[in-house]
Structure 1
Amino acid sequence: MKELMEQIKTDLMDIFTHLHENPEVSWKEFETTKYLASFLEKQGAKVRTFSECTGVIADIGEGFPVVAVRADIDALWQEVDGQFQANHSCGHDAHMTIAIGVLMTLKRLSSLPKGTIRFIFQPAEEKGDGALTMVDKGVVDDVDYLYGVHLRPEMELSDGYASPAIIHGGARFLKGTIQSDDAHGARPHLGKNAIEVGASFVSMLNGIHLDPLVPYSVKMTSFHAGGESANIIPGSATFSLDLRAQQNDTMEQLVTKVKDIAASLEKLYNTSIQLETAANVAAAEVNREAQAFMERGIIEALRNEKLHAPLVSTGGDDFHFYTIKRPHLKATMLGLGCGLTPGLHHPKMTFNREAMLDAVHILTITVLETLKEGKK
């Protein structure tokens, strides 16, 4: 297997460089989709794209079971050296490269076990609705096992190590508005001060108490009210809330508490407060059988001492919507130690690119073992 890794290494690094240097943000991955579709067709895969959205599906092999490998394809929009631009600071360029490497390696084997290997190049992970769109398009309806991969920061997992599961927490981002009339600074009794409403909101959020054994948090991350005139009391404001929970049922409890607070403040201040969900990412639902196959892949590729326990992360990934929306799926996500610094989403994020070959090796073995033993 390592000989095959060396055969594709140069091509993989060139692919990564192209993807890294041509980032595209969520739902605008048009050139990325074209590039992937063209390359995968040349590899002999059965390729499917969508007229309504970006993203690529590629199949090799035939029959059952159906084992899928998912890679996210979008970049972030962030400030880099004083200029806002699309930027692959979350590692999606690496995830695409790894999935391509698995396909290239499998195609070079003399024979494959019976079954279909599907590669899902999914758009808009950063928006939190890319996986849901793929589910709606039926791309996992016939899939039995689903594997993903994500680079991990050095502080979480050292270079050369790998984890068979990432236990992501759930995340929900709410946008809110406070709507009332402005008032003169000399006559505060004639209006409702949106800033005071916002301050009360923050105070009451800090008073939410749920099961302390399950990590959770809620905080206001933006608040905008008022203008240039210091003698006007602003009646209206917009704000954003960031909610996190390690379990999906805890997230629902947290959302209910936040809505209850908004309703209470409406009555207290006699104003209007509206909340809407801007994005929603589910907490992980890891399948033990899929995790066991991934463990075997890590041990065979890297040796037993490089196997790390499943990672618990407060971060989120819309990968987990696949299993929530299609409970028959057996899924897990590979956590890849790769010397990643300073951290995910940092504009200057960097990592050991050689580690991508480790991930290709791990996932290739995992897919093969699943095809052999994971019968439908």
Structure 2
Amino acid sequence: MIIQNLNEYIQEAEQLAKEVFEEIHSWPELGNEEFKTVTLIGRKLKEMKLEISRPLATAVTADIKGKGNPQKCIALRADIDALPIAEEAMVSYRSRRAGLMHACGHDAHTAILVGLAQVLHRLKNVLPCDVRLIFQPDEEGKGGADRLIETGVLKGVDQIFSFHVKPDLMAGTIGVQYGTVHGESRMLEVRIKGTPAHGAKPDLGRDAVYGAAQFISLCQGIVSRDLDPVKAGLISFGRIRGGEAGNILAGQVELEGIIRGEDGEVCDRLCQRIRILARGLSQAMGLSIDVKFTQGYRALINDRRSAEQVKLAAGDKAVEINRKSMTVDDFSSYLQLVPGAYFFLGCGFADRENSGLHTSRFQINEKCLATGIETLAQICMKTQYR
């Protein structure tokens, strides 16, 4: 379908998206605290005469009705939360909140969806489907997707799409992936209890710090020796708490970590081996070792037909990606219920080094905003009735 004025609409939407992006970037908000962000989103959508809904205090949705009586509804999701990282990127719109930054590109995701709303609203007389825009909080925390789903945000939705900026892809490209895109995770908490004693009399105590060191080291052996080498899995520890003084054996140490696997089966295998390790090590060292696992995000697996739609929409901008990632994203919760796809939006600069996601110098190439708007618009315009 040749859409008259589409390029003009995208150029105008790009300007809107840049304004929204820079405003959100300058005032980042953590998960479930995105009050100023959703106020801005709501205001921009209302200026387009769109009716908005607030299913959660820090979430916004809006429906754009297609022509006639469309037989299909496509949902598009953007995450909106920031990270507790102090920004070092020297940009004119840098964060004005100490210790907070949009270091994962959610500001760009949000701005693109706002710009897209303007394009689709102008195309509503030729839009072949209904479109639901979902602005979701707390992707970086405990996951806002599940709470939004509980409000009925997927009611009537036939297909769903989302995307993520990718700094190692140049701006102007779209990364398309089939099958598993992101892995699955389990959160891990470990409490190791021993007996405190003076450092000069270690035989009178049971050293919880030494036990923690052995536990962490042996967990890496699980990955290298208990996991099928063709399977991808990780056990990482990011926090250790314990001890009172440098010359006293600690009576208790607490560890926090994360288990990652390419699928739920791998995660289950790693959890099983950690339980066995904890029992054996506690007996060998005279310690009490308690482990607790909490389900994290599910594996994110693209529906093949939906991924093909992304590739078709991206045209010559499409780049096929064949590498799984052990990062996670709660968009997987939507895909448990509705077919869809998650793609990557190149945001890198061709003439300089690109800092990675979740780093203090992360910066997007704003040229990616128009590419994101155009790709999503083409997904909607090229959709077929169910």
Equivalent positions of 1:1-376 (< 5 A) are: 1-50=6-55, 53-61=57-65, 64-80=71-87, 85-109=99-123, 111-154=125-168, 157-165=169-177, 167-208=181-222, 209-230=226-247, 232-277=248-293, 280-299=296-315, 303=316, 306-324=318-336, 326=337, 329-339=338-348, 341-370=354-383, 373-375=384-386
Q: CA deviation at 1:145?
A: 0.7
Q: CA deviation at 1:80?
A: 3.4
Q: CA deviation at 1:81?
A: 5.0
Alpha-carbon separation, structure 1, partners of 2:12 and 2:199: 73
Q: Taking structure 2 as the reference length, what is the TM-score of the superposition?
A: 0.87
Native 8 Å contact 1:163 1:335 kept in 2: yes
Q: Show CA shifts across 1:217-271 (max 9, x none).
A: 11333323323341x1111011122322122221222222223322332333343
Report the 3-state secondary structure (helix = DSSP H, G, I; strand = E; otherwise coil) of the residue aligned with 2:300: coil
Native 8 Å contact 1:291 1:332 kept in 2: yes
Range moving further from structure 2, 218-227 or 329-338: 218-227
Q: How much identity, in percent, do the aligned residues show?
A: 27
Q: CA deviation at 1:367?
A: 1.6
Q: Taking structure 1 as the reference length, what is the TM-score of the superposition?
A: 0.89
Unaligned runs of 5+ in 2: 1-5, 90-96
What is the Cα-based RMSD across aligned positions, in Å? 2.2
> 2:199 corresponds to which letter in structure 1?
G
Alpha-carbon separation, structure 1, partners of 2:46 and 2:292: 41
Alpha-carbon separation, structure 1, partners of 2:124 and 2:167: 36
Pairs aligned (count): 362
Q: CA deviation at 1:277?
A: 4.5
Instruction: Label 1:311 to 1:58 Cα distance change in 2 as closer, same or farther (>3 A).
Output: farther
Q: CA deviation at 1:356?
A: 1.1
Alpha-carbon separation, structure 2, partners of 1:374 and 1:307: 26
Q: CA deviation at 1:354?
A: 1.2
Native 8 Å contact 1:148 1:332 kept in 2: yes
Native 8 Å contact 1:37 1:49 kept in 2: no
Report the 3-state secondary structure (helix = DSSP H, G, I; strand = E; otherwise coil) of the residue aligned with 1:59: strand
Report the 3-state secondary structure (helix = DSSP H, G, I; strand = E; otherwise coil) of the residue aligned with 1:86: coil
Instruction: Label 1:173 to 1:369 Cα distance change in 2 as closer, same or farther (>3 A).
Output: same
Aligned partner of 2:93 in structure 1 is none
Alpha-carbon separation, structure 1, partners of 2:136 and 2:38: 10
Instruction: Label 1:104 to 1:177 Cα distance change in 2 as closer, same or farther (>3 A).
Output: same
Native 8 Å contact 1:170 1:251 kept in 2: yes
Q: Show CA shifts across 1:320-358 (max 9, x none).
A: 12222x2xx111112111216211111111121011101
